[in-house]
Amino acid sequence: MREVEHDQRHGLVLSTVAALVPGDTVVLVASHALRPVLAEIGDRFGAQIDARWLQSGPEMWQIRLERVAEPA
């Protein structure tokens, strides 16, 4: 996330999450809390994605996203 242009971040994250199959994971790394994009992921994918914080600041935030279910 830190290396992606700001206006492209949400789209990249959402397309990456959409491409995950059950058991796949991705770790997002950012210089700030990722709450807006996490809310969007929750709205679009619901319980299909398990999100676990790996690091919560103050200089870096990391969250692990795992696809846990097939899309409905």
The domain total for the chain is 1
Residue 18 in any domain: the answer is yes
Of the given ranges (16-20, 29-33, 37-41, 53-57), which has the lowest mean pLDDT?
A: 29-33
Range 19-52 burial, b when 16+ CB lie within 10 A, else e: ebeeeeeeebebeeebeebbeebeeebeebbeee
**10-13, Cβ contacts within 8 angstroms, sequence gap of 24 or more:** 10/36, 10/37, 10/40, 13/37, 13/41
Q: What domain range includes position 62?
A: 6-67
pLDDT, mean of residues 35-57: 94
Residue 59 in any domain: the answer is yes
Residue 50 in any domain: the answer is yes
Give the global pTM: 0.84
Residue 1 in any domain: the answer is no
Token match 């996490």: residue?
Answer: 38
Residue 72 in any domain: the answer is no
